[in-house]
Amino acid sequence: MRIDIEKAKDEVKSLWNDAATLRANVEKEKTNLVELRQKENLAFAFALSLQEELSKIAFELNMVEERTKAAKLPLELQQASKELEHAKMNVMFARNEMEKAREEANQAQAEVNVVQLRIEATSREILALNASREIAVASANALQDYKHEVELEPQAERRNNNTTLSLEEYNVLCKKVQDAEDLAKKRVIRAVEKIKEAKEAEVRSLDRLDQLIKQIDDRRVALREAHEKANVAYDGKLAMENELRKRRAQHEKQRKTGSNADRMQIN
């Protein structure tokens, strides 16, 4: 009986020891758990701080990027303005060239009209010269007939004829008729040469007129293309200006948002 009691006491003592050991282990685990929770809280706080820092860095990077774009945009706007001015100059140049070609075409048309008038005047001159030549030929034929009649007419009848010409007068008259005929021939030749020259000048003027008309068409096309490029450049400039205004407004909004966030962190 005594042995059982001692044995039971030993078992109880052993149980108390085991319980004490278990309690010590529990306390140790509690301590470890508290330390672990503290570490988790520190890690969570560090993660929050890191997240805030990353957000701040991302915001600053975005601000820098926007500032860089905003800094580049005026340069692009300046380039667009230069392109617009260049396009306007091209339009003005094309318009001046077309006006110049039109004036040259009008001048060429006037030259053609003058040449045509010269041809008409020369043609009338040839008609008049031909008439003079026919008169001279008729006069020469009449003198020739008169000479033939004189040769056949008897001497007595020639003395009684008051219209009889002396040989000297006849020769002088024949020479005048011949000179008139030769002069008429020369004038006709010169008139024909004038017409030929006038025709050649007319052909050259018409060719020049055709070239100028083609130049006008080409320059009209160039003017239309220059207008289109100017419109594109103008639209591009407007788009750049609108984009610049948007970026500035967005930058100002982000700046105000960043200032408010900094004040909230300080508070």
Question: Bigger pLDDT: 147 or 207?
Answer: 207
User: Domain ends where: 17, 42, 69?
Assistant: 69
Residue 129 belongs to a domain:
yes
Q: Which of 179-183, 215-219, 260-264 has the lowest mean pLDDT?
A: 260-264
Do 232 and 164 share a domain, yes or no? yes
Supply the mean pLDDT for the chain.
69
The answer to whether position 177 is within a domain reads yes
What's residue 158's pLDDT?
Answer: 44
Is the domain of 162 the same as that of 209?
A: yes
Same structural domain for residues 157 and 86? yes
Task: With a cut of 50, say whether residue 264 has pLDDT above it.
Answer: yes
Does residue 74 belong to any structural domain of this protein?
no
1 & 62 share domain: yes
SS3 assignment for the chain: CHHHHHHHHHHHHHHHHHHHHHHHHHHHHHHHHHHHHHHHHHHHHHHHHHHHHHHHHHHHHHHHHHHHHHHHHHHHHHHHHHHHHHHHHHHHHHHHHHHHHHHHHHHHHHHHHHHHHHHHHHHHHHHHHHHHHHHHHHHHHHHHHHHHHHHHCCHHHHHHCCCCCCHHHHHHHHHHHHHHHHHHHHHHHHHHHHHHHHHHHHHHHHHHHHHHHHHHHHHHHHHHHHHHHHHHHHHHHHHHHHHHHHHHHHHHHHHHHHHHHHHHHHC
pLDDT at 256 exceeding the cut of 50: yes
Based on the fold, state whether residues 65 and 90 are members of the same structural domain: no
> pLDDT confidence of 148, banded at 50, 70, 90?
low
Q: What is the pTM of this model?
A: 0.41
Check whether 5 has a pLDDT greater than 70. no
* Structural domain span for residue 225: 79-266
In the chain, the number of structural domains is 2
Task: Identify the band that residue 155 occupies on the pLDDT scale cut at 50, 70 and 90.
Answer: very low
